[in-house]
Amino acid sequence: MRASPILLPILALPLVLLTGCLTMRPFSEVRREIPEERFVRVGGQLVHVEQTGTGEPLVLLHGFGASTYAWRKVAPGLAESFRVIAIDLNGFGYTQRPAARESYTPEGQVEMVLGTLDALGVEQAHFAGHSYGGALTLRLAVGHPERVRSMVLVDSAAPTYPDDRRSRAASLRPLNALFLRTFALRERMIRKALERVYYDDSLVTPEVTRAYLERLKIEGMGDAYYGLTAPRPPSPPIDLAKIDIPALVIWGADDLLIKVDDGRRVSALLPRSPSWCSRRPATHRWKSGRKRCCNSRCPS
């Protein structure tokens, strides 16, 4: 006899009692600990932004489950040439979690990013998007080409990724809360997830694991998870061949989640993507793919 889905949260209650209930960090506490100048008000929401450097604006959009923390190694170097603006997307990092489900759609994320740039007085910028952030960068390029001066796609997810990862199980909000508190937002699970995406597992230190976790375990994460994963009508399709914006596609040669061949296909479809870079972290050497490497030369 199968249990009714409605009864599953009740039947799972003993599991919650055995494993303990994970508490979410109040957003008021986050505000007290993070400098006020790192928050930008967009409508009634506080968006966390890290800025450094001067020059033309360069917006950094992180991947799914990540935050501005993911850019910590590259932001200082980029800041030597650009005004770097790293934004925590809806549902991630120190950005306030909205209750509205629409905030977590690709369109909602794009609206928040543009609202943040408006608040900062930025009319046009270069964009660099990693994974999920790359999918959003492509949607920005299609829907608001006047705001995108150029784009860099780093191991980018497909534009359909935000819809592809949705499931019926996420419609049951009590089960979502159970999943987050007893499984997904545990340090052990975060470490395993990072080991899947890091080439060198030795870099997944306790410090790094906790840094990713503490930026997820914030009040409103239940609303965010529901908005990001529950079924919804798909977003309009994107024709990459119609994106008339300079683009650079960069991929990890040993990416296990999004294969390097996907990057080659994306690069081939984008009309203004003259360069192809594929990096193999084991030797720290770059190799040429089907197209020429960055600036027609592969650095050693």
Query: Would you state the CATH architecture of domain 8-245?
Result: 3-Layer(aba) Sandwich (3.40)
- Say how far apart CA 20 and CA 7 lie, in whole Å: 20
Domains of the chain, by residue range, sit at 8-245
- Here the tokens at position 68 are 């501005």
pLDDT digits (tens, 9 = 90+) for 24-83: 999 999 999 999 999 999 999 999 999 999 999 999 999 999 999 999 999 999 999 999
Confidence band of 232 (pLDDT split at 50, 70, 90)? confident
What is the per-residue pLDDT for 18? 38
- Here the tokens at position 253 are 């040669």
- Say how far apart CA 60 and CA 92 lie, in whole Å: 14
- Say how far apart CA 257 and CA 200 lie, in whole Å: 15
pLDDT digits (tens, 9 = 90+) for 153-182: 999 998 887 777 777 666 666 676 777 777
Angle (CA) 33 37 42, round 5° = 105
Confidence band of 287 (pLDDT split at 50, 70, 90)? very low
Confidence band of 277 (pLDDT split at 50, 70, 90)? low
- Say how far apart CA 34 and CA 273 lie, in whole Å: 38
Confidence band of 300 (pLDDT split at 50, 70, 90)? very low
Contact by Cβ (8 Å): 152, 71: no
Report, in angstroms and rounded to the nearest whole number, the Rg of the chain calculated over CA atoms: 20
Contact by Cβ (8 Å): 103, 232: no
Q: Is 228 left (phi over 0), alpha (psi -120 to 50) or beta?
A: alpha
